[in-house]
Every structure is written in C-alpha cells, then in structure tokens.
Amino acid sequence: MRQKIVVTGGAGFLGSHVVMRLLALGNEVVVLDNFSNGKMSHLGSVCKHPQLTVIHGDITNKDDVDHAFMGCKTVIHLAVLDLRQSIKEPFRVNKVIVDGTLNCLEAAKENQVDLFLNCSSSEVYGSAVYVPMDEKHPLNPETPYAAAKVAQDMYVYSFGRTYGLCWTTIRPFNMYGPNSHWQGCRGEVIPKMIVRAMNRQPLVLFGSGNQTRDFLYVEEAAQAVIKVVSNPAAVYSQTLNLCRGKEISIRYIAELICREFNLNPTEFIQIQPSRPGDVMRHKGNNQIISEIIDFIPQIEIEEGIYRTIEWFKSLLNKPQELLSQEVLCNWI
C-alpha cells in the first residue's frame, strides 16, 4: 500500500497513531486538522516527514476540504468534536460532524476515491440492549454527539447508494493510550485518572462506577485502521465494530490506577453524582472485523494502562502543571 491518503483530524488522538503508521509504510499523507483538539506534538518525530503535508484547515470550510483532498485516493475521516462538548454546544458539534462530513463526502466523490473510511462511534448504540453488541444493535443515541454520529453514518451510506461512493464505517468503542486527552471536559476517563493519581488527587467516579466500557489500546486501533485501508475490496459497504469484546467497569479502572500508584482506593476514589449522557453498559462484538482483516487485539487492560502510565511519566515531569489544567475542568 503506497498512495496519497488524506486523514481528517490527523493530529488528534487516534489520527496521530494512524498517520505515523501510514508514513512508516511509505504513503504520502495529507493531514487536515484545525487543531481545536489536536496537537503537532502528537505527531512526534514525523511532523517534518517529507511525505507528510499538514493543512491547518477546517472540515466545515469547503475550500479547505477541496484543497486537502485533491489527488487523494483514500480518505480516513476522523475529525470530530467530542461528546461532552456536544452537551454544551450541540449546534457547534453538529456543524462539525454533519456539515463537515458532507463536505468530505462531496470532495471524496469529486476525487473518485477508492475508499472513504468513515469513523463512527459505539455511542450511536446507546447503552447495551443486549451484549455483546454487534453491528445490528439498535441505534439509540443518548447524546447530541451520538445523534450527529448517526447522521454522519447515514450520510456516508447514502453517498454509497446515490453516487456509488466506496465506503467503510468503523465503530470504535473506547480507546485509550498515548496522546489521549486529559484536559478539561474533553478529557477521557483513563488519562484523567492517571493525571489525578500522578498528582495524588482523588479519582472521580460519576454514579456507581459500575458503568462498563469496552477499552481498546489505541495502537491496536490504529493497526486495525491500516488493515482496513489496505484491504478495500474486503471492506466495501460494511460497518465494523472496533473493540476488544471485553467489558471493564470504570470502578475497576480506578482501582487499577490506584494500585499502580500505591494509592489506597478507599481514600482516593471519590463518588460524584452521575452525569447526563453516560451510557451504562458497552461490550462489543468484534467477530466481523476479526474475520475480515484478521484483527485480534492482544493488549489486556492491565498492560495497556501500565503502558499509558509510562507514556505520561516519560512525557511529563511536571505533574503540578498538569494538575493546573485538570482543576480548570468544568464538570458537567
């Protein structure tokens, strides 16, 4: 696989891992990112790679999208604003997810791309009606973010039906690992808890802590994305869950992180009222993606959390600085 590939949101959490792998395989990569949540530093040593073009642009701007997509044969569409933001600013998030996706679909159609890889989210399913949740699970979006992701998926499907666009939708469950976000409302649970533990601050559980998620280490998720774009014919017009197929409670995550930092869970785990938009149970079924691209995740949660902690430790020797961003968080 050596081609010109555009990655929207390529400076973000998942995007940065995907871009590094694409470059290592000899592809020419165009990143389109407005850096609202992404960072150049996520791309590490490859940010000056001769095969990489970074366009500081917005997917809601048609000219930016047309410019970035020119001559690309594969699109990996990852740009997004997050779930918590959608609860505060549903119109803004809808504009990025829905209007932005439409711009990307139009440009993909004009460029007659070989594959439009659409990144959905397990949030479209809502809380599990049955487990493990397969791709036929009902769509019950519980937040404006999830509703916009349903619309995104439907637009992608419709472009396949109307214009013959070659698409694949992947549905990641929860990912974690290096480059994940810990700051403010957009912070995810694992990095947030790690940063708080580094600072000997309480780890917060919203509600009982018995909510479950299906966590996948981000490097394995990026590996799966590469396998999908390397096998376009096998994945056309398919929706594929991307998960480990194991459910882990948020309380277990908190206990694990306490153990890694030698903190007493009774003292350091704090309960706060549950938040709107938190689904109760997620456990995915990854049978289809396993069969199609031979994707078998190997990294257990204990190992993945250990690696993530090591990454935070290597990156930051100034935990107080991290905390100052953390306490700015406006819990919803």
Ligand X SMILES: NC(=O)c1ccc[n+]([C@@H]2O[C@H](COP(=O)([O-])OP(=O)(O)OC[C@H]3O[C@@H](n4cnc5c(N)ncnc54)[C@H](O)[C@@H]3O)[C@@H](O)[C@H]2O)c1
Residues that bind ligand X (CB under 6 A): 8-9, 11-15, 32-38, 58-60, 78-82, 96, 100, 119, 121-122, 172, 174-175
Closest to ligand X by CB, 146 or 257 = 146
- Report the residue number, 111 or 179, with the smaller CB distance to ligand X: 179
Three-state DSSP at 77 gives strand
Give the nearer residue to ligand X in terms of CB position, either 28 or 58: 58
Q: In terms of CB distance, is 62 or 202 closer to ligand X? A: 62
Shortest distance, position 280 Cβ to ligand X, whole Å:
17
Distance in Å, CB of 41 to ligand X, minimum? 12
**What does the alpha-carbon distance between residue 237 and residue 73 come to, in Å, rounded to a whole number?**
17
* Strand 212-213 with 248-249, pairing: antiparallel
- Complex with ligand X: residue 265 or 300, whichever CB lies closer: 300
Long-range contacts of 90-95 (CB under 8 A, 24+ apart): 90/144, 93/144, 93/145, 93/148, 94/144, 94/148, 94/151, 95/60
Which of 154, 199, 160 lies closest to 312 in space, CA to CA?
A: 199
Q: Which is nearer to ligand X, 225 or 322 (CB)?
A: 225
If you compute the radius of gyration of the chain from its CA atoms, what whole number of angstroms results? 19
Alpha carbons 200 and 269: distance in angstroms, whole number: 11
Q: Which is nearer to ligand X, 226 or 263 (CB)?
A: 226
Largest separation between any pair of C-alpha atoms in the chain: 58
Residue 200 C-beta: closest distance to ligand X, Å: 26
CB of 275 to ligand X, least distance (A): 16
Residue pair 218/188 in contact by the 8 Å Cβ criterion: no
Between 11 and 289, whose beta carbon lies closer to ligand X? Answer: 11
Pick from 157, 170, 9: which is nearest to 82 by CA? 9
The amino acid sitting at 158 is S
State how far the Cα of 100 lies from the Cα of 171, in Å rounded to an integer: 18
| Sign of the dihedral defined by the CA atoms of residues 115, 116, 120, 124, in that order | negative
Q: Which uninterrupted H or E stretch holds 16?
A: helix 13-24
Contacting residues for 316 by C-beta, under 8 A, at least 6 apart: 198, 322
